[in-house]
Structure formats: C-alpha cells, structure tokens
Amino acid sequence: MEQLPPEIILGMVEQHMSMETVMQFMQTTKARLPILPAVARRRVTVRSILQTYEASICKAQMAARSLPLAGDILSSCGPERRVIAANTFGAILELDVRQERINDALRRDFWNTGTRNLGPPAKTRTAQIDYMGSLSTEELAALFYMVDMAGFGFVRACKYEAEDPLVWEKITVFEECLLRHGSWFLWAHLQGGKASHAAQLIEAGLKELTDWETGKEGMLPGLRMSLVDAYRTRLEDAHDVDLEASLRERVRSMVMAPQNT
C-alpha cells in the first residue's frame, strides 16, 4: 500500500470500497504516502489523507446512490437521534445501516408469498379507508399530491411511452400500491428490477384493477379512489367538479402566498 500514489488510493476508496471497509482501512493502516517531500512524508499517512478528503470521498459515494442526501441526517442509533453532518463518513455509514435494514425486510419470507396473496385483507383495507375519512381536507390534499407526484416520477423513471396502452393503468396501480404499502414499497421499487417485490405487487395490482373494471364479485374499492371520494364529501357542491384538479389547486394554495388581483 505504501507504494501506491495518493490518487490511486483515493480512487479505490471513492469507487470500490464500502464505507465500513473504508473505516476499517483507516483503523488498520499507518502506511505513509509516497512522492511527498521527506519532511511531510513523516507526518502524512493514509489515514490522514482520507480524513483530509473526507468530503470529496463522501460526495463521490453519494452520487452513486438512488436518493442522495439533500442535507444533514438524523442518526438512527439511540433515542436522542443526533444530527450527522452531510458529506461525512458518519452520514454514509448511517445510510448503509438504513439500507441494510431495508434489504433485511425485503429478504424476509413475509414478502415472498406469491402474487396471489399480495393484497391486504378486507379488514385492513376497510381500516385504511376509514382512516382516510378521518383526515382533514388539507391532509387529504397533501396525501393526494404526494402520491400524484410519485406517480409522475414513476412514469419518468420507467420511461413509459404515451403509446403504451396500459400506461395509465400502471400509474394508477403504482399510486395504489404506494398508498397501501407505504414507504417500503417505494424503496422496493427503487432498489429492485423486473423481478422485485414491487414489480410483483404492480403485476398483481394490474390484475386486480382488471377484475374491478369487469365487475368481478367481491372486489374492494381502491385507496386512491377512496381518497378522492373522501375529498368529494368535503365539497359543498361536487357536481361537475374535476376533483383531482381541485385537489392540486388546494395544495397550491396551501404552499403559495395568495396572489393579489
């Protein structure tokens, strides 16, 4: 290791080492860096050079992730949830801990039940619909907008074309799965491919949507439809109102200052 120039060492760390390996590397090596003046070489080790370039190393590793950090992050170790600064080794380690927990959840047999068992039972769906009915108008609008934007991102990420005859059905099912299963579904979609648990859920959802549209007996209402229906009950006159456009406009009014006319 002491024969390698600093540029090679940094390249190895940025592109080919996990953060756990980097930390072990820093703890175990005391090799002095070459091609430095004799006086400086006695003081500069691999550990010190990695500490010096900590921010650039972390930025390089962060760029390869699905969802780079937008800023500081809260630690998940301990109840105090201390703040960890962005672009530090600690922040990357925290993300690795979270990713491993997600991977562990996705590996469990609970998710490997086959597509025929992927939908929630009737009792759970009813509880979810009832919960939506308890939300305020603003909460319903915000929830709809979040799911709506996630659906837009889903189409862009999957590069579906407008000519795809099932494009709108796929968007609807993706948004439905997000409402039913929450953030773990979104992570499964981001981390997986065509054979992922998220892909299985979407495939099962497309079949369920077809069953609903063809009037198959015993089908339960979807959460996305139930969300819009819950919003309809809050309007004094919902006749001839584009409910989804109304929801988007309500969110706009919530986040923007009133415009002077």
d(CA 134, CA 261): 35
Q: Are the C-beta atoms of 181 and 201 separated by less than 8 Å? A: yes
Mean pLDDT of 186-203: 78
d(CA 57, CA 48): 13
Query: Looking at the chain, how many residues does it have?
Result: 261
Q: What is the pLDDT of residue 105?
A: 60
CB atoms within 10 A of CB 124: 12
Of 53-62, 101-110, 170-179, give the range with the top mean pLDDT. 170-179
Alpha carbon separation from 232 to 9, 214, 253 (Å, rounded):
61, 24, 18
Answer left, alpha or beta for residue 220, where phi above 0 means left and psi between -120 and 50 means alpha.
Answer: beta
d(CA 174, CA 157): 12
Note the pTM of the prediction, 2 decimals.
0.56
Extract the tokens encoding 214.
Answer: 């063809």
Least confident of 31-35, 139-143, 224-228, 237-241: 31-35
Alpha carbon separation from 224 to 5, 176, 200, 231 (Å, rounded):
57, 6, 19, 11
Among positive and negative, which fits the CA dihedral 100, 103, 105, 108?
negative
Domain spans in the chain, listed from the N-terminal domain onward:
6-107, 113-255
Decide if pLDDT at 259 tops 80. no
- Between 33 and 227, the more confident residue is 227
- Between 243 and 85, the more confident residue is 85
Average pLDDT over the chain, rounded to an integer: 78
* Beta carbons within 8 Å of 113's beta carbon, 6+ residues apart: none
d(CA 244, CA 24): 52
Can you list the pairs that 189-196 forms with residues at least 24 positions away whose Cβ atoms lie under 8 Å? 189/154, 190/66, 190/67, 191/66, 191/102, 191/103, 191/106, 192/106
Least confident of 33-47, 133-147, 149-163, 217-231: 33-47
Reported as a single tens digit per residue, the pLDDT across 117-131 is 444 567 888 888 998
Least confident of 23-27, 112-116, 251-255: 112-116
Q: What is the pLDDT of residue 238?
A: 64
Mean pLDDT of 171-177: 93
